[in-house]
Structure 1
Amino acid sequence: MPFTDRRDAGRRLAARLDRWRGSDAVVLGLPRGGVPVASEVARALGAPLDVVLVRKLGLPFQPELALGAIGEGGLRVVDPDLVRRFGISAAELAAVEAAERSELDRRAARFRSGRAPVPLAGRTAIVVDDGVATGASARVAVAVAGAAGARRVVAAVPV
């Protein structure tokens, strides 16, 4: 059954995550598409909402195809098979990463407006996005939550 929009997807996803209602969970949305989904999940669970910032590392000549992703705290996931298959040099990968790191830092300043992230130490982090293609962004988002001290990390997507 298709969703009418991301908010509808979030409400339906929240019903599947009901066991975390009233717990110590924090809902983390991946901007942009995951935030409206995560907002509905957080509201339904009565949990705090925050963002987890990641950026896809696209092929230099095909930016929509992810070689990997970077996240807050310097975390990085790269698919070495894709790097090898497409002959991406270390310099090319470094250039893509530098550009995306700059954008990630800009977005962190914009989304957080100087406030600190919701503390995750010892808590359950529910990482929400609106979908998964290669999984690179999801993997790095889960790693960011784990590095921030989450006791448990749950990846949740409606599709």
Structure 2
Amino acid sequence: MSRIRAYPDRRVAGLHLGEQLREREWHDPLVLGLARGGVVVAHAVAEVLGAPLDVAVARKIGAPGHPEFGVGAITARGEATYDERTLAALGLRPDDLAEACETERAEARRREAVYLGGRSPQPRADRDVLLIDDGLATGVTARAAAHAVREAKPRSLAFAAPVCAPEAAMNLKSDVDEVVCLLMPDEFRAVGQWYGNFDQTTDDEVVELLGSKS
């Protein structure tokens, strides 16, 4: 694994990403951070753009017996999104993952309720929405979040991250209007590889960041 650390932490990565995005014209932009780590990056992007910040929640659906290996993702509402090639390779069908799917949907709902704190989400309709994460590995959670945002009928939907796996970035282009990645290294192995500090972001940190931009 490469020893390269492109960014000292998520906030610095977000500032770099924000500067890149500021070169574009956005119509009534809304920045959405994918919880949890993506909210830290998104907060910095929103700061640079002078745009409001909100949160998107998508939960990975793990393979049976290997919950850390994501085969799909789910949001608080709507259908699950699956990586069809991975399902085929593992000999799985969506029905085989129904229990895991509902468990993760319940967790998505819990987190969304905690992060929103009783307020309504920022409106998405007829505005340019920027969906931000700290990185793109398989892309399955980003795809699930993008499908949920699309339901709100934004004017446009862009996904942006400081670092992306090249294949995942290419595959995501069919789900959003644009994919912006500062780095797409061929030697990509994991998002954390590109950060000096990649500590887990907590629910409390997410709530605090969202509150500071309300």
TM norm structure 2? 0.70
For residues 35 and 155 of structure 2, the distance between their equivalents in structure 1, rounded to whole angstroms, comes to 23
Contact kept? 1:22, 1:47, Cα under 8 Å? no
Sort the Cα spacing of 1:5 and 1:32 in 2 relative to 1 into closer, same or farther, 3 A: same
* Aligned CA-pair RMSD: 1.6
Instruction: Provide Cα deviations, 1:11-52, integer angstroms capped at 9, x if missing partner.
Output: 000011003567400000011110110000001101000001
Shift in Å, 1:84: 2.6
Shift in Å at residue 156 of structure 1?
A: 0.3
Q: Is the 8 A contact 1:21 1:45 kept in 2?
A: no
Runs of 4+ aligned residues of structure 1 deviating over 6 Å after TM superposition are none
1:115–1:65 Cα change, 3 Å: same
Secondary structure of 2:122's counterpart equals: coil
Percent identity over the alignment?
42
Provide the rounded CA distance (Å) in 2 between the counterparts of 1:66 and 1:150. 28
Distance 1:16 1:80, change over 3 A: same
1:155 to 147, 155, 159: 159
The one-letter code matched in structure 1 to 2:13 is A
Q: CA deviation at 1:142?
A: 1.5
User: Contact 1:56–1:66 at 8 Å: present in 2 too?
Assistant: yes
* Deviation for aligned residue 1:85: 2.1
Q: Deviations over 1:97-120 (max 9, x none)?
A: 011011011111111111111001
Q: Does residue 114 of structure 1 match 2:108?
A: no
> Following the alignment from structure 1 to structure 2, what is the Cα–Cα distance between the partners of residues 158 and 89?
33
The CA distance in 2 between the partners of 1:72 and 1:91, in whole Å, is: 18
- The worse-fitting range, judged by mean Cα deviation, of 29-38 and 13-22 is 13-22
Q: Cα–Cα, structure 1 residues 12 and 86, in superposed 2: closer, same or farther, change >3 Å?
A: same
Matches within 5 A, 1:5-154: 5-20=9-24, 23-154=27-158
How far off its partner does 1:72 sit? 3.5
Query: TM-score, structure 1 length as denominator?
Result: 0.93
Q: In the alignment, is the contact (CA less than 8 A) between 2:31 and 2:53 conserved in 1? A: yes
**Unpaired segments ≥5 residues, structure 1:** none
